[in-house]
Amino acid sequence: MSALQSISGKNNAPGSESYDVVVVGAGFAGMYMLHKLRGLGLSVRVYEQGGDVGGTWYWNRYPGARCDVESMQYSYSFSDELQQQWNWSERYAPQPEILRYANHVADRFGLRSDIQLNTRVDRAAFDESENSWSVATSDGRAVSAKYVVLATGCLSNARTPDIKGLSGFKGQVYHTGHWPHEQIDFTGRRVGVIGTGSSGIQLVPVIAEQASHLTVFQRTANFSIPARNAALTEAEREAFRAKYPEIRRFAREEARNGIYTEMPDRGALDDGDDERRAKYEQRWSRGGLTFMSVYNNLALDKAANDTAANFVREKIAEIVKDPQTAKLLQPNNHPIGSKRICVDTDYFAAFNRPNVTLVDIRSNPIEEITANAVRTGGKDYQVDALVLATGFDAMTGSVAKIDISGRNGQTLNQKWAAGPKTYLGLMSAGFPNLFIITGPGSPSVLSNMIVSIEQHVDWITDCIGYMRRRGFEAMEANTVAEDHWVAHVNEVAHTTLYPQANSWYMGANIPGKPQIFMPYIGGVGVYRQICNEVAAKGYEGFAMTAAETQKMAASS
Ligand code: FAD
Ligand code: NAP
């Protein structure tokens, strides 16, 4: 029985649904993948479990949601007409606008006809005799495809923590990563927010303006830099557009994180106190993620890092009037930047409002959630609604939810039980013709994600084109190349301060998840060069099999 039959329980006779490529997910990665594969003349089916395209921006509709990479850069570069014509309204566009952009792209490039919405991919099995994948979907269908591309997203598996009593709470419970489509009005309500990562930090100031009282339950204080968000003028947009060729080139080839900014040539300790402070002040006034690129050693040297961390801690103390609250808001258990740095609008100032209370749940963990309160430190904090800004099972969570079996029936979950193993973050040995976009082992979440998405999609498209031109049926990462890559990713991570934090980069936010630094921290420019060299050497480290070789091997 073929794997397809075994998945569906049906006999998929010739004529049943079959595609060259199945793509899972219709966020920015899945949409661009579809566009590019069509360019090769391939038949493609995209499955998306959500009700529309947009991925992250379809699901994360919480108040205050917006990008933290400037919109002129957090946007596709593959179409010059698109980047010249789309008008971003603000420096950091709000979620509804980014979702409109995703929809515009779907319409503009006629993508919808090959995207099946409201359909989850549940299983995928590799059929070794056919060199193809059998894919089972939530609508009870099974299709076959030569290739499968996982465009499932690194931050798409929202995580609800296991807190005692949560299911018995009588008010409304919202998760930021699964926000309802209708407008939620918190006016006059007592709201509790659990979680103070990027999502919590964005929504707290907005909900604070509506709620009668807002209680913020903080386990870990986070570093956050003001966004300095503002409307973009036409002149600013035009200036950017005129420089797009250089901005996009720099982001792809030179930047470590896919963002166009100055490259620092000095370490933080190379400057005296006054000069250093002036530079931090300048970046603080400018706002945004590039605060961390003022010096070239903030991620490497703890003493250098401390200078930036102390600067931000001082800023928090200046903004927050109550000294005890300010102290609680000052991060003290990880180097700045080792957890994803947040970008906010008036987050710290929100704690000066009389209707906002900060509760330290590190010293006094939540004991239980009762019908109408959060209990911690023996005290009940009454709330009518709870917002869980508790994050995601990042990088591997959405992949793990799909039952994927490769050669010899080995599942990807078995193979990754001790942590994800990939070659270049693109493929995992034993799973031929299965590509991952921005997978673990690639720069991915450490970068402007659209830069990394475009790079992976372009590489995968070139690779599939290469295979077809040369008559290769199957491609697979080889184990030695994969082991070397995993070791390299790990080695580079441990030259930095990143592993010192209990972050989702390390899998530390999920009880029981193996703690391994998942993304590749070598930088997007370096990584792109490595991927290009691998391709130029005939996909070094990958094994490609021609149909004839396969037949000969089978008959010998
Ligand atoms: P996603 O957008 O996550 O899309 C994946 C899609 O796959 C989802 O729609 C999901 O429903 C679908 N899917 C998953 N599993 C299945 C399945 N089994 N079957 C069918 N469909 C499936 N990055 C930045 O660079 N800059 C930012 O400013 C930024 N802001 C962010 C803000 C928030 C609130 C969050 C959560 C993330 C942010 N990110 C940001 C990261 C963001 O995830 C990426 O920038 C980008 O949107 C990822 O696109 P994607 O297509 O790879 O994944
Ligand atoms: P996150 O960074 O993982 O933050 C989750 C928060 O919930 C943390 O404060 C965490 O505390 C807390 N938490 C988790 N489980 C808890 C529990 N059981 N009890 C109490 N507190 C708990 O998730 P996120 O804020 O959704 O952000 C995830 C990523 O998405 C970001 O890092 C970023 O890459 C992206 N994002 C970007 C933006 C943007 O600005 N554009 C906005 C949102 C998200 P601990 O730290 O102690 O674990």
Q: What is the pLDDT of residue 543?
A: 97
Could you report the per-residue pLDDT of 147-195, keeping only the tens digit for each?
999 999 999 999 999 999 999 999 999 999 999 999 999 999 999 999 9
Q: Is the CB of 148 under 6 A from ligand 1?
A: no
Q: Is the CB of 220 under 6 A from ligand 2?
A: yes
**Smallest CA separation from ligand 1 atom 6, residue:** 25
Could you report the per-residue pLDDT of 39-89, keeping only the tens digit for each?
999 999 999 999 999 999 999 999 999 999 999 999 999 999 999 999 999
Cβ neighbors of 287 (< 8 A, separation 6 or more) are 225, 226, 227, 228, 229, 343
Q: Is the CB of 503 under 6 A from ligand 2?
A: no
| pLDDT > 60? residue 7 | no
Q: What is the pLDDT of residue 421?
A: 97
Per-residue pLDDT band for 15 (boundaries 50, 70, 90) equals: very low
Contact indicator for 158, 42 with CB cutoff of 8 Å: no
Q: What is the pLDDT of residue 139?
A: 96
DSSP class of 11: -
Q: What is the pLDDT of residue 555?
A: 45
| pLDDT > 70? residue 3 | no
Rounded Cα gap, residues 102 and 362, in angstroms: 39
* Burial call 190-221: b when 16+ CB within 10 Å, e when fewer: bbbbbbbbbbbbbbbbbbbebbebbbbbbbbb
| pLDDT > 50? residue 477 | yes
Q: Is the CB of 385 under 6 A from ligand 1?
A: no
**Smallest CA separation from ligand 2 atom 43, residue:** 199
Mutation choice for ligand 2 from 166, 198, 362, CB with most ligand atoms inside 8 A: 198
Q: Which residue type is seen at 208? A: A
Rounded Cα gap, residues 445 and 443, in angstroms: 6
Per-residue pLDDT band for 34 (boundaries 50, 70, 90) equals: very high
Mutation choice for ligand 1 from 123, 150, 156, CB with most ligand atoms inside 8 A: 156
Task: Give the residue-averaged pLDDT of 512-518.
Answer: 94
- Residue found by looking up tokens 């950091």 in the block: 92
| pLDDT > 80? residue 2 | no
| pLDDT > 90? residue 254 | yes
Rounded Cα gap, residues 61 and 178, in angstroms: 8
Q: Is the CB of 390 under 6 A from ligand 2?
A: yes
Q: Which residue type is seen at 170? A: K
Mutation choice for ligand 2 from 61, 90, 199, CB with most ligand atoms inside 8 A: 199
Q: What is the pLDDT of residue 339?
A: 96
Of 118, 147, 117, the C-alpha closest to 131 is 147
137 vs 16: which has the higher pLDDT: 137
In three-state secondary structure terms, 45 is: strand
Could you report the per-residue pLDDT of 432-468, keeping only the tens digit for each?
999 999 999 999 999 999 999 999 999 999 999 999 9
CA–centroid distance, 473 to ligand 1, in Å, is 30
| pLDDT > 70? residue 554 | no
Q: What is the pLDDT of residue 263?
A: 87
Could you report the per-residue pLDDT of 359-374, keeping only the tens digit for each?
999 999 999 999 999 9
Rounded Cα gap, residues 54 and 67, in angstroms: 13
Q: What is the pLDDT of residue 548?
A: 62
| pLDDT > 80? residue 314 | yes
Rounded Cα gap, residues 86 and 71, in angstroms: 11
Rounded Cα gap, residues 141 and 149, in angstroms: 18
In three-state secondary structure terms, 521 is: coil
Ligand lying nearest the CA atom of residue 150: 1
CA–centroid distance, 199 to ligand 2, in Å, is 6
Mutual orientation of helices 244-253 and 524-536 as an angle, nearest 10°?
80
Per-residue pLDDT band for 550 (boundaries 50, 70, 90) equals: low
The pTM score is 0.96
For residue 65, the ligand 2 atom closest to its alpha carbon is 42
Of 109, 114, 134, the C-alpha closest to 48 is 114
| pLDDT > 80? residue 547 | no
- Report the run of H or E that residue 474 belongs to, with start and end: strand 472-477
